[in-house]
Amino acid sequence: MTQARGSVLARCALLACACLVSACATVSAPPRTAPSPASRPAPTAEDTQPAPAPIPLPPPAASTSRTEPPPPRSTDVPPARPQSDASGASGALLEQSRAQRAAGSLPAARASLERALRIDPNNAVLWLELGELELQTGNTAQAATLARKAMTLAGRDTRLSARAERLLSAAE
């Protein structure tokens, strides 16, 4: 009986190897040949119409021997830092925090925002929400600190920067 079982296992192993080898082999398509003129369908009225004329491209700009300097960049406001890929999870926690805050559960709202910030620390909106929560609980010094952090992360986003400035002025 064990000898029969061994031969069955050997056959299964051999079959698995054969399947693996055949799966790894590449199959190339047969070479294509151009159809003979006799096998081509007769041209229709649509086939005999001329192709539309290509759209002309504008002439290239005349090159000068000197290169112009790049436009001046604003160095006082950095670009906004990218948010992480986990912004979906942090967004859900932000919405949860807003609902908890509206229900009057400020400690739970703070905990949800802190969890969201551990996931997405470069999200200026999260820092703003936490700062507004701190202001609501009377912790003005912490609210001002969080407003400054949000301004740093907001970069060139004028809407977020203005919101952070309003929070900072309310906290000071």
- Could you read off the pLDDT tens digit of each residue along the chain, which spans 172 residues? 556 656 666 675 655 545 444 555 445 555 566 555 555 566 565 555 665 666 666 565 554 455 566 665 555 555 555 544 456 888 899 999 999 999 999 999 999 999 999 999 999 999 999 999 999 999 999 999 999 999 999 988 899 999 999 999 998 8
Three-point CA angle 86, 89, 91, nearest 5°: 105
Residue 97 in contact with residue 129, Cβ under 8 Å?
A: yes
129 token code pair: 């929400």
Three-point CA angle 70, 72, 77, nearest 5°: 135
Phi, psi values for residue 142, rounded to 5°: -70, -35
Given CATH 1.10.10.60, say whether it is the number of domain 87-171: no
Rounded CA-CA distance 34/44 in Å is 20
Task: Show contacts of 150-154: CB within 8 Å, 24+ apart.
Answer: 150/124, 150/125, 151/124, 153/80, 153/81, 153/122, 153/123, 153/124, 153/127, 154/80, 154/124
